[in-house]
Amino acid sequence: MTQTVLRIDASARRQGSISRQLTDSIINRVAPDAEIATRDLADGLPLINEAWVDANFTPADARTPEQRQTLALSDTLVAEVTAADIIVIGLPIYNFGVPATLKAWVDLVARAGVTFRYTEAGPEGLLTGKRAYIAVASGGTEAGSEIDFATGYVRHVLGFIGITDVHFVAADRLMLDAESSMKKANAQVETLGVAA
């Protein structure tokens, strides 16, 4: 059975992007024969607003046509994640955190009753059984360091919606030693297992 990969590019740069380059390498390594769906966040996403929140918290069978239209993009983004076996995210670190477009994507996808639910034991993610790979690129921030507010956030939000099998490949501190950083990242890609 052919696997489906959802590729999410969060870099604002379409040319010369290290996170896009690493995303290519990861997909070629773990799912070379998969069907690829691409969501390029460089195209931009709207921020949630009061109308979106009102529509989201209105029961589905009570939504007006306008509210359904307000949620249409969010529904599409949720469907993309739901349909994917593997999610590969190109994650540049901007000013110690995730790009604003990736945060907008999270806000549109993390929906109570749709991608997670609240239980007596706490929140429970509903998008289980998936694997995620995160291609990290940074100029000066060391991945996993105390000034990295991106990788921990992405791991947490993916787990929140049920995706707990998460693997990182990091080309970090590129401004300090790009050659060594890329060598390390490419070696990490080679250790990734091919998806069954």
Q: pLDDT tens-digit profile of 8-54?
A: 999 999 999 999 999 999 999 999 999 999 999 999 999 999 999 99
Binding site: residue ranges?
Answer: 11, 17-19
| C-alpha 147: how far from chain center | 20
| C-alpha 142: how far from chain center | 19
Cα gap 7→15, rounded to integer Å: 17
Regions of the chain with pLDDT less than 70: 195-196
Residues shown for the chain: 196
Does the pTM surpass 0.75? The reply is yes
Cα gap 104→108, rounded to integer Å: 6
pLDDT for 35 equals 97
Binding site for FMN: residue ranges?
Answer: 11, 17-19
CATH fold group of domain 4-190? Rossmann fold (3.40.50)
pLDDT for 1 equals 77
Cα gap 140→150, rounded to integer Å: 13
- Give me Rg for the CA atoms of the chain: 17
Q: To 10 degrees, what angle do helices 18-30 and 174-190 make?
A: 10
Cα gap 50→43, rounded to integer Å: 23
CB within 8 Å of 57: residues ≥ 6 apart = none
